[in-house]
């Protein structure tokens, strides 16, 4: 790719992060692969310099030496002397995921990093699929965390779970209106609420905009949730 490739390396792209991998490791891996491509490009031809080399005089039977002007390549830009031409690349992250979470990360390179700010200001929602297990609790809420509590779950039904989810969503909807600084008495606010366009205008905690149960097979259950968070 070389310099010509670097000039074209602008934009946003998505990368999948598997569970168990930290987001920074993914970012560093992407940077390493892009740098390999940039450094694999053909470098400009080496410049030549005139050097005076000591050598025998042509046609002389005696061992006389003389200086002869000779054009030799300059090694100052040789890869073994200077090293790789590109050693770092600025890559921005649109958001982050926990180490145990899996999903799509949006990365920006070059002028594409400016678009990450526009994406943040658009207040887009994030959708998560959550796998849960009834009857157990760990210290970090992850399946591989230290078990701190164990209890029965026979009394938990899908109807009861969905009632709890509705209460959670309702309380977060009220908080969303509060953080949006929108006057609900206006027609514009009503139309925004109906179309789901109400967004927090300033920094806010995590606000759930939608949550529902996709699967309920005790002790396992599956939730899908969408939320907003402006930090």
- Domain range holding 53? 48-80
Residue 184 or 38, more confident = 38
Predicted local distance difference test score (pLDDT) of residue 140: 85
Closest CA to 173 of 161, 162, 182, 185: 182
Please tell me whether residues 226 and 131 are part of one structural domain.
Answer: yes
Contact 27, 92 (CB under 8 A): no
Please tell me whether residues 130 and 188 are part of one structural domain.
Answer: yes
Within a domain: 6: no
Residue 211 has pLDDT above 70, yes or no: yes
Closest CA to 95 of 131, 51, 137, 128: 128
Question: Over the range 176-214, which residues count as b (16 or more CB within 10 Å of their CB) and which as e?
Answer: bbebbebeeeeeebeebbeeeebbbeeebeebbbebeee
pLDDT bin (cut points 50, 70, 90) of residue 60 is low
- % of the chain residues with pLDDT over 70: 93
Q: Which residues are catalytic?
A: 98
Contact 229, 176 (CB under 8 A): no
Residue 61 has pLDDT above 70, yes or no: no
CA 192/CA 181 separation, integer angstroms: 12
Please tell me whether residues 139 and 196 are part of one structural domain.
Answer: yes
Closest CA to 10 of 89, 119, 99, 123: 89
pLDDT bin (cut points 50, 70, 90) of residue 96 is confident
Within a domain: 165: yes
Within a domain: 16: no
Residue 29 or 178, more confident = 29
Closest CA to 30 of 52, 15, 46: 15
Residue 188 has pLDDT above 80, yes or no: no
CA 67/CA 86 separation, integer angstroms: 39
Please tell me whether residues 73 and 148 are part of one structural domain.
Answer: no
Domain count, the chain: 2
Please tell me whether residues 76 and 130 are part of one structural domain.
Answer: no
Question: Over the range 97-124, which residues count as b (16 or more CB within 10 Å of their CB) and which as e?
Answer: beeebebebbbbbbebbebbeeeeeebe
Please tell me whether residues 224 and 146 are part of one structural domain.
Answer: yes
What would the pLDDT profile of 14-28 be if each residue is shown by its tens digit?
999 999 899 999 999
Residue 88 has pLDDT above 60, yes or no: yes
Q: Are strands 65-73 and 48-56 parallel, antiparallel or unpaired?
A: antiparallel
Within a domain: 37: no
Within a domain: 60: yes
CA 142/CA 136 separation, integer angstroms: 11
Please tell me whether residues 135 and 71 are part of one structural domain.
Answer: no
Please tell me whether residues 213 and 153 are part of one structural domain.
Answer: yes
Within a domain: 115: no
Q: Please list the alpha-helical segments (H only) found in the chain.
A: 2-8, 23-39, 79-82, 112-121, 158-180, 187-195
Residue 166 has pLDDT above 80, yes or no: yes
Within a domain: 74: yes
pLDDT bin (cut points 50, 70, 90) of residue 2 is low
Within a domain: 68: yes
> In sequence order, what are the beta bridge partners of 150?
136
Please tell me whether residues 138 and 73 are part of one structural domain.
Answer: no
pLDDT bin (cut points 50, 70, 90) of residue 190 is confident
0.75 surpassed by pTM: no
Please tell me whether residues 146 and 57 are part of one structural domain.
Answer: no
Q: Which residue has the tokens 């790789």?
A: 84
3-state secondary structure 102-156: CEEEEEEECCHHHHHHHHHHCCCCEEEEEEEECCEEECCCCCCCCEEEECCCCCC
């Amino acid at each position: 790719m070389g310099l010509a490739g670097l000039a074209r390396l602008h934009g946003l792209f998505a990368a999948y992060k598997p569970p168990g991998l930290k987001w920074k490791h993914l970012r560093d891996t992407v940077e390493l692969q892009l740098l390999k491509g940039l450094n694999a490009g053909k470098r400009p031809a080496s410049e030549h310099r005139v050097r005076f080399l000591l050598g025998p005089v042509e046609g002389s039977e005696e061992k006389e030496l003389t200086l002869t002007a000779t054009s030799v390549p300059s090694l100052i830009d040789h890869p073994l002397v200077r090293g790789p031409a590109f050693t770092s690349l600025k890559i921005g992250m649109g958001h982050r995921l926990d180490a145990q979470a899996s999903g799509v990360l949006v990365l920006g390179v070059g002028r594409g990093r400016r678009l990450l700010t526009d994406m943040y200001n658009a207040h887009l929602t994030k959708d998560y699929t959550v796998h849960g297990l009834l009857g157990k609790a760990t210290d970090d809420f992850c399946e591989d965390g230290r078990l701190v509590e164990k209890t029965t779950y026979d009394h938990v039904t899908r109807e009861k779970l969905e009632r709890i989810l509705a209460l959670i969503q309702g309380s977060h909807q009220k908080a969303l209106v509060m953080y949006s600084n929108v006057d609900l008495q206006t027609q514009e606010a009503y139309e925004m609420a109906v179309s789901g366009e109400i967004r927090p205008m300033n920094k806010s905690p995590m606000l759930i905009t939608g949550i529902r149960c996709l699967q309920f097979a005790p002790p396992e259950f599956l939730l899908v949730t969408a939320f907003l968070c402006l930090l």
